[in-house]
Structure 1
Amino acid sequence: MGLTDYRALLIDCDGVLVDRDSGVLAALQPLLDSRGGKSLPREQVLAEFHAVIAGLYPRFAELGFSGILCFAHRQLAERWGLPASWEEGMSFARSAGNWSLFEDAPGAMLYLRKFYRLLVCGDRDFEDRGLLCERLGIEADDFISLVDARQWLDRHGAQVQPVLHVTRPSVGPDVSLDRCLIGRQSARQPVPCAADYCINSMADLVAQHQLCLRR
């Protein structure tokens, strides 16, 4: 199926539109600074953060997004043998509202919404969703929680199918959806392509769509 044949794009928020890793690293810096001169490599910090989040995610219904981030901060401090207060954990959790968009995301969303219904899949506290949706140029109803995405598609599938899932190479496949992998870091881009499309950025997705229109 060609790019112009889809009616909707289901776009992952973090790692595709929002630069979560840079936001997490910046918010963890006060904790990392308390190690003194013992710095940790960026990739190690992120790997440990993602491992802790994965372990906490089954408790999402209980903790919510901020709760998971707060507990993640606590667990990382314990892993690294550092003191950390709950206030510092909550400050880390609230930093999610300030995570930056990738530079190409606003322009790509502006272009793509002329041709598709844009659905963004991610987790945010309710008070952060409105501003994020405004920055992305989507309606609040088109921001879908990760835990509700399958149920949402089951309920609304007829209105949006066929859907292309725009995601990261590290995300496991949903066999019911075609996939476009956005490999912002070329080292993580699978070779050969492990999906229907493998593209380097949202800007490249726009360029590929324009090529399809010219054919």
Structure 2
Amino acid sequence: MGLTDYRALLIDCDEVLVDRDSGVLAALQPLLDSRGGHPSREQVLAEYNTVVANLYPRFAELGFSGVLCFAHRQLAERWGLHASWEEGMSFARSAGSWALFEDAPGAMLYLRKFYRLRVRGDRDAEDRGVLCERLGIAPEDFISLADDLQWLSEQAEDVQPVLHVTRPSVAAHGVFDRCLIGRQRPRQPSPCAAEYCISSMADLVAQHQLSLRR
């Protein structure tokens, strides 16, 4: 199926539109300074992702800030450090200032001319409105990870076919074609593990423009 055949894009927020990894690393820097040594970016993010994944079953209880706060505390414990709850909450609140990738606003502005856009991610209520404004979408078009299956069952038929724009580490939903955004990869894998493997949102725009010319 060509890019122009889809009616909607379900776009993951973090590491597709928002530079979550850089934001997390910057917010963890005080802990890393206390830890010492020189752990690699990949090692720190792998530990962070493991801790967050283990906490996500408690998302309904903890909320987004709670998950990040507990993740901060557990990372400190792993590294033999003490971290206060105030430091944990400061880390959690940093999510509101995570930067967009440079190509994200322009790509969203272009793509909404051709598709219905839904963004998939988690944020606290006080951060969600600002993020939606930065992305140029309505608040109701931001779908929580906890609610995405409900959206699939209630809305997907109205917007099919849908292309899920995500990062390679995210498991497939099974019902959507996928476009994998590998921002950290100098070259995309061949053969691609999805319908599309590209390097950025800007590349998605370029591929769509090529499809229009065919």
Question: Which residue identity lines up with residue 55 of structure 1 in the other structure?
Answer: N
1:191 aligns with 2:190: yes
Task: Provide the secondary structure at the position in 1 that maps to 2:26.
Answer: helix
Aligned-pair distance for 1:38? 2.0
Aligned-pair distance for 1:32? 1.0
| Equivalent position of 1:26 in the other structure | 26
1:211 aligns with 2:196: no
Task: Provide the secondary structure at the position in 1 that maps to 2:102.
Answer: coil
Q: Counterparts of 2:141 and 2:188 in 1: how far apart (Å)?
A: 28
Q: 1:188 to 1:77 in 2, by over 3 A?
A: farther
Task: Provide the secondary structure at the position in 1 that maps to 2:93.
Answer: helix
| Equivalent position of 1:17 in the other structure | 17
| Equivalent position of 2:175 in the other structure | 176
Query: Is residue 111–residue 206 contact of structure 1 (8 Å, CA) maintained in 2?
Result: yes
| Equivalent position of 1:144 in the other structure | 143
Question: Which residue identity lines up with residue 46 of structure 2 in the other structure?
Answer: A
Task: Provide the secondary structure at the position in 1 that maps to 2:64.
Answer: helix
1:165 aligns with 2:172: no
CA RMSD of aligned residues (A): 1.1
Question: Which residue identity lines up with residue 20 of structure 1 in the other structure?
Answer: R
| Equivalent position of 1:117 in the other structure | 116
Q: TM-score, normalised by structure 2?
A: 0.97
Q: TM-score, normalised by structure 1?
A: 0.97
Aligned-pair distance for 1:92? 0.1
Task: Provide the secondary structure at the position in 2 that maps to 1:10.
Answer: strand
Aligned-pair distance for 1:40? 1.8
Query: Is residue 169–residue 189 contact of structure 1 (8 Å, CA) maintained in 2?
Result: no
Query: Is residue 169–residue 190 contact of structure 1 (8 Å, CA) maintained in 2?
Result: no
Runs in 1 of length 4+ with deviation above 2 angstroms? 187-191
Aligned-pair distance for 1:159? 2.1
1:102 aligns with 2:106: no
CA deviations 1:105-152 (Å, max 9, x no partner) are: 000000000000110000001110000000000000000001111111
Q: 1:146 to 1:189 in 2, by over 3 A?
A: farther
Question: Which residue identity lines up with residue 80 of structure 1 in the other structure?
Answer: W
| Equivalent position of 1:93 in the other structure | 92
| Equivalent position of 2:8 in the other structure | 8
Structure 1 residue ranges without an equivalent (≥5) = none
| Equivalent position of 1:60 in the other structure | 59
Q: Counterparts of 2:167 and 2:6 in 1: how far apart (Å)?
A: 19
Deviates more, 1:182-191 or 1:22-31: 182-191
Question: Which residue identity lines up with residue 156 of structure 2 in the other structure?
Answer: G
Indicate the percent of aligned positions where both proteins have the same amino acid.
Answer: 80
CA deviations 1:181-212 (Å, max 9, x no partner) are: 00111168443200011111000000000000
Task: Provide the secondary structure at the position in 2 that maps to 1:32.
Answer: helix
